[in-house]
């Protein structure tokens, strides 16, 4: 949400401005202020000195060369130091910005999982990231501009005093002009900030579609199903709406800028009349007149620069406020609990569990109850959308039940710490996208301390070793080309095998959950997974989730999920006899399954 002027200024002077005067920046800030003030001030003083010398007839070549030499030397030293110090301060604040960004990324990776599926919260995250999005926006931009702004403010004070010494009228006109400019600058910033959420929303939509057309995964569909024109239409629509909203901001900025320039040049015009009048009436020497007019010109440029910096800083403060608000927000509902370590397989119980996703009034299921005995392999089956994956998310602790209780070996799962909860499970999720790491790092999750022999064993077990060992770097081969040019792109089935290998590598787990782990595998690979399911499970409770009922034959028990409840449970043979829905679903899944049914009968 947008803050008012008072809140923004309070935030700026409390959280941002002090960073210019901390241990590693204060000396650079002070020296830069001195160097940046010296050159414009000397320009005026040297000009007046030369004019006075000429007027008094005392100027010779030696004096001219001396004055010019001193001025040039000071100019070179001050400008060189300005550039050097600005580069150093840029680097310091860039490191700060990157550290803040890392904090945000860490927070996102540790916050409650439910926030990932909240579209409104996604927009909040995008807005929060604007505060650290780059060199020219947010945190770093504000501090670097303030670093440049401080010497300009000092020059305004010095030149204003010099003008006051010559004419209080010119001083008053200059001050009024500057205050008008600062007021108009805040008006521009406020208008831009009000328009910002709508602009960012359109930008987010545009970027999402742009990501689709740039993603190779969608390339085949776009071509085969002639989706190009439809996608282009959406991209154009979002871009046009984005440009329209941005154009309104630019129009407003132009109108206000006209008033800003008008106030500056009217002030200069009044000052010119006053100084000319004073010179004509002998109240001011020609040298003083030229020096005063030079001050007015420099002051006008400084005021315009300050105006731009103040507008920019004021606009960007809101971004950084959102960043800090995000970092201060509590996105973990509860992580405290018992750090209990389970040994071996455990029993699982859902007791009248109801659940609806955040922001939704519709229950995925209501009063769902079932039990899984320790050391049993259970298949949870049902049609697509029945809530099987949601059960997995609740079981492992990614979501909490809206109502009811989940028990793990008789312990209320909510009483466990999240670390203890996550230790229990090895999971192969439905989504099978690897990370841009090496094959070994995708399996182990760390860079060092990899048990290479164990990695090989898991790859052999899932039938992926032949492929990986043929790669140039074996298990050290990079995956994906988004970062590494030599990255290998695995097929969908190979990705699933890699994820199964990762689940098998995880030590000391009590429950193995496989959520549609064979959906991208061919029939032979799928059959191999089925046959070796017991060896995958080891000394664990096994849960196999699928809508393909042929996967049920290797499990001790089948739970059939239908209409948000367990409508039937038992062996395949028992469900074929007593569950009409299960039987009809099984019989529609093709000749292969019918053959298997006949064999079973």
pLDDT at 601: 44
Of 208 and 404, which is predicted with more confidence? 404
CB 17 within 8 A of CB 146: yes
> Stretch 221-249: mean pLDDT, rounded?
81
State the residue for tokens 């000397």. 42
pLDDT at 550: 66
> Stretch 561-578: mean pLDDT, rounded?
86
pLDDT tier at 355, thresholds 50, 70, 90: very high
pLDDT at 596: 45
Q: How far apart are alpha carbons 254 and 431 in whole angstroms? A: 49
Predicted model pTM: 0.76
Tens of pLDDT, residues 125-148: 888 898 998 888 899 999 999 999
> Stretch 98-110: mean pLDDT, rounded?
92
CB 332 within 8 A of CB 108: no
pLDDT at 59: 64
Q: Give the residue from 501, 503, 435 showing the smallest Cα distance to 464.
A: 501
pLDDT at 597: 44
* Dihedral sign, Cα of residue 337, residue 343, residue 344, residue 348: negative
Task: Give the rounded percent of residues in the chain with a pLDDT score beyond 90.
Answer: 29
Tens of pLDDT, residues 269-321: 888 888 888 888 888 888 888 888 888 888 888 888 888 898 889 889 988 99
Tens of pLDDT, residues 240-260: 888 888 888 888 888 888 887
Task: Give the rounded percent of residues in the chain with a pLDDT score beyond 70.
Answer: 92
Give the three-class secondary structure for 22. coil
> Stretch 566-576: mean pLDDT, rounded?
88
For residue 204, pLDDT beyond 50? yes
For residue 592, pLDDT beyond 70? no
For residue 230, pLDDT beyond 90? no
Given phi > 0 = left and psi -120 to 50 = alpha, else beta, which region is 387?
Answer: left
Q: Give the residue from 354, 330, 511 showing the smallest Cα distance to 420.
A: 511
Least confident of 52-61, 85-94, 148-157, 262-271: 52-61
Q: How far apart are alpha carbons 83 and 79 in whole angstroms? A: 6
Domains delineated in the chain? 5-328 (1.20.1560.10), 348-434+490-600 (3.40.50.300)
Q: What is the DSSP letter of 416?
A: B
CB 50 within 8 A of CB 59: yes
Give the three-class secondary structure for 377. strand
pLDDT tier at 410, thresholds 50, 70, 90: very high
Distance (Å) of CA 284 to CA 48, 146, 162, 233, 293 = 13, 37, 13, 68, 12
Instruction: Output the average pLDDT for the chain.
Output: 84
Q: Give the residue from 401, 381, 406 showing the smallest Cα distance to 562.
A: 381
For residue 120, pLDDT beyond 70? yes
For residue 486, pLDDT beyond 60? yes
With helix as H, strand as E and coil as C, how does 211-270 read? HHHHCHHHHHHHHHCCCHHHHHHHHHHHHHHHHHHHHHHHHHHHHHHHHHHHHHHHHHHH
> Stretch 393-397: mean pLDDT, rounded?
92
Q: How far apart are alpha carbons 304 and 185 in whole angstroms? A: 10
Q: How far apart are alpha carbons 256 and 188 in whole angstroms? A: 7
pLDDT at 272: 85
> Stretch 461-467: mean pLDDT, rounded?
90
């Amino acid at each position: 949400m947008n803050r008012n002027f008072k809140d923004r200024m309070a935030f700026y002077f409390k959280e941002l401005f002090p960073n210019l005067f901390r241990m590693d920046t204060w000396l650079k800030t002070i020296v830069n202020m001195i160097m940046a003030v010296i050159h414009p001030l000397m320009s005026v003083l040297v000009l007046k000195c030369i004019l006075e010398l000429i007027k008094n007839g005392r100027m010779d070549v030696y004096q001219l060369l001396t004055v010019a030499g001193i001025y040039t030397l000071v100019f070179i030293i001050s400008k060189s130091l300005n550039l050097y110090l600005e580069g150093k301060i840029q680097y310091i604040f860039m490191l700060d910005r990157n550290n803040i960004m890392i904090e945000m990324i860490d927070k996102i990776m540790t916050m409650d999982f439910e926030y990932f599926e909240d579209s409104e919260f996604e927009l909040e995250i995008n807005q929060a990231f604007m505060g650290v999005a780059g060199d020219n926006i947010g945190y770093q931009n504000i501090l670097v501009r303030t670093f440049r702004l401080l010497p300009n403010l000092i020059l305004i004070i010095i030149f204003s005093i010099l003008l006051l010494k010559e004419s209080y009228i010119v001083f008053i006109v200059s001050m009024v002009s500057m205050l008008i400019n600062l007021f108009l600058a805040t008006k521009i910033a406020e208008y831009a900030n009000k328009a910002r959420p709508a602009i960012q929303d359109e930008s987010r939509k545009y970027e999402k579609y742009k990501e689709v057309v740039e993603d190779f995964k969608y390339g085949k569909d776009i071509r085969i199903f002639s989706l190009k024109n439809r996608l282009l239409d959406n991209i154009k629509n979002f871009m046009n709406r984005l440009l329209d909203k941005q154009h309104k901001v630019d129009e407003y900025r132009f109108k206000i800028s006209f008033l800003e320039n008008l106030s500056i040049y009217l002030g200069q015009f009044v000052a010119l009349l006053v100084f000319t009048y004073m010179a004509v009436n002998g109240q001011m020497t020609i040298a003083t007149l030229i020096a005063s007019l030079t001050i007015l010109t420099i002051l006008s440029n400084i005021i315009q620069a300050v105006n731009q910096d103040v507008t920019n800083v004021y606009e960007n403060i809101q971004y950084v406020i959102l960043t800090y608000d995000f970092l201060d927000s509590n996105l973990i509902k509860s992580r405290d609990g018992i750090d209990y370590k389970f040994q071996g397989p455990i029993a699982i119980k859902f007791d009248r569990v109801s659940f609806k996703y955040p922001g939704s009034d519709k229950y995925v299921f209501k009063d769902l109850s079932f039990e899984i005995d320790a050391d049993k392999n259970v298949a949870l089956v049902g049609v697509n959308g029945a809530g099987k994956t949601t059960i997995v998310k609740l079981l492992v602790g990614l979501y909490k039940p809206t109502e009811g209780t989940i028990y793990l070996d008789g312990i209320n799962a909510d009483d466990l710490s999240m670390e203890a909860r996550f230790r229990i499970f090895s999971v192969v999720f439905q989504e099978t996208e690897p990370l841009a790491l090496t094959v070994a790092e995708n399996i182990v999750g760390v860079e060092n301390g990899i048990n290479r022999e164990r990695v090989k064993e898991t790859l052999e077990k899932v039938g992926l070793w032949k492929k990986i060992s043929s790669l140039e770097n074996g298990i050290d081969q990079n995956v994906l080309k988004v970062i590494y040019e030599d990255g290998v792109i695995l097929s969908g089935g190979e990705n699933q095998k890699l994820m199964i290998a990762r689940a098998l590598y995880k030590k000391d787990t009590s429950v193995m959950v496989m959520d549609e782990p064979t959906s991208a595998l061919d029939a032979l690979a799928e059959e191999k997974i089925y046959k070796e399911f017991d060896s995958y499970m080891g000394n664990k409770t096994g849960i196999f989730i699928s809508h393909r009922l042929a996967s049920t034959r290797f499990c001790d028990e089948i739970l059939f999920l239908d209409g948000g409840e367990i409508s039937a449970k038992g062996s395949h043979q028992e469900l074929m006899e007593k569950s009409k829905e299960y039987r009809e679903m099984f019989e529609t899944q093709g000749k292969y399954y019918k053959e298997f049914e006949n064999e079973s009968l």
